[in-house]
Chains A and B, each alone.
Chain A
Amino acid sequence: MHGWCGKILRVDLSRGKISNEALDPQVARDYIGARGFGIYYLRREVDPACDPLGPENKIVMAAGPLTGTPAPTGARYVVTTKSPLTGAITCSNSGGNFPAELKKSGHDAIIIEGRSATPVYLWIDGGRAELRPASHLWGKTTHETDDALRGETHAKAKTAVIGPAGEKQVLFAAIMNDRDRAAGRAGVGAVMGSKNLKAVVVRGEGEISLADPAAFKAANTKYREAFKAKTQDNPPPLRTHGTAITVVGTQGHGVFPTRNFQQGTFEGWESIYGETLTQKYLVRAKPCFSCPIACGRVTRIPDGPYQGEGEGPEYETVYALGSDCGVDDLAALTKANYECNELGLDTISMGSAIACAMELYEKGYLKESEIGMPLPWGDGAALVKLTRMTARREGFGNILAEGSRRLAARCGHPELAMVAKSLDFAGYDPRGEQGMGLAYATSPIGGSHMRGDPAYFELLGVPVPADPHTWEDKPPLVAKWQDLFCVIDAAGLCVFFSVRYLVEQNLMVKPVGITELLNGATGAGYTPEEVEKIGERIFNAERMFLLSAGFTRKDDSLPPRITEEPMPTGPAKGMVCKLEEMLSPYYRLRGWSAEGVPSETKLGELGLLQRLKA
């Protein structure tokens, strides 16, 4: 095979057994890779009703056919499993260098099953793989673990590890690769911790075979040159200032979530946004494998109570640990970000849980005695302290570790958790961004922006603008973009480059460039229409997993704050999200019933009926 390695590594932790399996060429063609392989194997092998933290759940770590190739941003992998935070599927995506190394070791995917009796790590050295004891690493931070493992294996090995939060099964624990990149969302790290698997360490020096090197090179050069031409006089804002520059777009539109989504504008935004980060703490921009953008931030806080060095913050962190908690102290939120990275926590759900606690405290539903400290809006020191307590489940941290939905329910006010399907929202208030509301509500993993991000066209003008306040035009756009993101994720690419250069630059985003690169790498001879259909297949397969896990139309919902409480201030003042109005037309155009169930006709069209019966 070309592009694909043709090999899956299966690791049975209960029996300590490792085996190699051939990748079925038809599955490769029909699901492309990464996110596609994740749902393909999960549906075949995991009971959607299983206990996510039990041995019957599995973790699929999968790369795409473009991962590890010279394709621009061919850096990504996806971790698919049943989420302990949501009970739904999750397919968390990360870049860095670990995913490319996995491909270079000759593997498209690792399927991890069972549970080890004692802590272990998986060491993959090219074609050889073994499980090694990891008791000496238990309790160590992600950075300490990375240092120790590269010392024990190979200095150039790449790691994907859990920190103390994953070990303690914090429900939003992350898997951190290359120290500071996160497969962050919905608790993939907790699942790894439940299996007593501390880390996956990989070394690979192989080259990925390309089906048509000349065609691949021509496509690669064409799109890289297009990027160069567009950015040579105007460096990309993401390189200059990182993703935290996005505050300009959200604050400007009045959708920058503030104090647990009580407002859409934050008076302290200038203290925490990308240009301030650049001026105060940026050391250098850091690219992932094969990336021309380099949005990653290496930062340093030189002195003061939050002194430290690490990576971040990203936009989502600036929202979750910043405006959403009313915190305008960039040093404090950056330090809390470092702690999340080193302890292995999702910064979005961590910040969102603290913001929820702050509102519960403000309203008197949560007492100082329960928290162990006062918790006013804007308390930067509390951010850092609570992050540490959460990772180790100490004191009130043990309650935060269950996430905002369970916290709010425990206090008798479930409506104050800003979640969809128990997953905390990203940094966009859907009241002033109607498409985002539909995307949060129908995302297969819950309140994620990265399952078809409408912020591109609603806020950021990419590839072309659409009005964020209208809802009538959003159902077809959201469906189209959700399917596109399945394709980007399956290919092993990053959204940031793909939406600007690898799709047609209109709202219908036909994946022309992605198709060219896939064909050059794999020789599959895809048409862009076939690739779009694969995106739809992946999305519907994920939907079927959700439905089998017991989710229904009522779970495609948003909190009453978003659908009933008008935005109090800013450019979106007076608006609510028209979710119900959007949901029925969205179901219809997807070929789903009024209850949100894909029809037999749709499943047949996507080749998903046969798979169900297989």
Chain B
Amino acid sequence: MKVRVNTFANLRDYAPAGKSSFELALADGASVADLISALRIPAAVQAVMLVNGRRAGAATQLNSGDEVTLFPPMEGG
């Protein structure tokens, strides 16, 4: 299946070809944790993870066509 991934700030460092928004192919039934590992984002790098605009956790199951957004925790404005 394919999902769209949007990465921001330092998490863009883990985007293929440095493009902030890209499509990623994952095995059917993959979770957010599988996506994180496919992008090789180290455990020490914290990320806020959204799937279709809702907060997700590592165990959240992904479906084809989902939009995943990853950004670092921020202290606000």
Contact = CB atoms under 8 A, between A and B. Distances in A.
Interface in A273-305: 274-275, 293, 295
A134 interface: no
A315 B44 CA distance: 27
B71 A252 contact: yes
A592 to B, nearest CB: 27
A571 B56 CA distance: 13
A248 B9 contact: yes
Contacts, number: 90
Contacts of A495: 75-76
B10 A237 contact: yes
A275 B6 CA distance: 14
B75 A314 contact: no
B10 A316 contact: no
Interface stretch (B29-37, B46-54, B58-66): B46-54
B14 to A, nearest CB: 12
B19 interface: no
A316 B77 CA distance: 7
Contacts of B54: 469, 571
A528 interface: no
Which of B8, B52, B54, B74 gathers the greatest number of chain A CB atoms within 10 Å?
A: B74
A500 B75 contact: yes
Contacts of B45: 233-234
A253 B10 contact: no
Interface size class of A (residues with CB under 8 A): 35 or more
B9 A237 contact: yes
A333 B28 CA distance: 45
Interface string A484-519: 000000000001110110000000000000000000
Contact of B76 (A246, A465, A571): A246
A248 B76 contact: no
Interface stretch (A114-122, A367-375, A452-460): A452-460
Interface string A214-249: 000000000000000000011111101101111011
Which of B6, B50, B75, B77 gathers the greatest number of chain A CB atoms within 10 Å?
A: B77
A499 to B, nearest CB: 7
A469 B9 CA distance: 25
Contact of A456 (B6, B8, B10, B76): B76
A462 interface: yes
A409 B23 CA distance: 48
Nearest to A246: B77
The B interface, classified by DSSP as helix, strand, loop or mixed, is loop
Contact of A462 (B6, B74, B77): B74
Contact of A249 (B6, B52, B71): B71
Contact of A467 (B6, B55, B76): B55
B74 A253 contact: no
A234 B74 contact: no
Contact of A427 (B44, B52, B73, B77): B77
A238 B10 contact: no
A460 B75 contact: yes
A252 B69 contact: yes
Contacts of A84: none
A268 interface: no
B53 to A, nearest CB: 2
B9 A497 contact: no
A525 interface: no
B72 interface: yes
Given A253-B53, A455-B76, A496-B76, A460 B48 contact: yes
A254 B76 contact: no
B76 A461 contact: no
B53 A572 contact: yes
A461 B77 contact: no
Contacts of B74: 237-238, 245-246, 248-249, 460-462
Contacts of B55: 465, 467-468
Nearest to B71: A248
A214 to B, nearest CB: 29
Interface string B1-29: 00000101110000000000000000000
Contacts of B71: 237, 245, 248-249, 252
Which of A241, A293, A571 gathers the greatest number of chain B CB atoms within 10 Å?
A: A571
A570 interface: yes
Nearest to B73: A461
Interface in A460-477: 460-462, 465, 467-469
Nearest to B50: A252
Given A237-B9, A465-B48, A572-B53, A314 B76 contact: no
A241 B12 CA distance: 13
Contact of A460 (B53, B69, B76): B76
A295 B77 CA distance: 9
A252 B76 contact: no
Nearest to A318: B77
A571 B50 CA distance: 10
Contact of A461 (B8, B48, B52): B48
B77 A244 contact: yes
B72 to A, nearest CB: 5
A427 B76 CA distance: 11
Which of A249, A275, A499 gathers the greatest number of chain B CB atoms within 10 Å?
A: A249
A11 B11 CA distance: 52
A427 B55 CA distance: 19
A558 B72 CA distance: 31
Given A249-B48, A252-B53, A465-B48, A237 B77 contact: no
17 contacts: A237-B10, A237-B74, A240-B9, A243-B77, A245-B71, A246-B74, A246-B77, A248-B71, A252-B50, A252-B69, A253-B53, A293-B75, A315-B76, A316-B77, A462-B75, A499-B76, A571-B53
Interface of A: 233-238, 240-241, 243-246, 248-249, 252-254, 274-275, 293, 295, 314-316, 427, 453, 455-456, 460-462, 465, 467-469, 495-497, 499-500, 570-572
Q: Closest 8 interchain pairs by CB? A: A571-B53, A315-B77, A243-B77, A461-B48, A496-B75, A461-B73, A246-B77, A237-B9
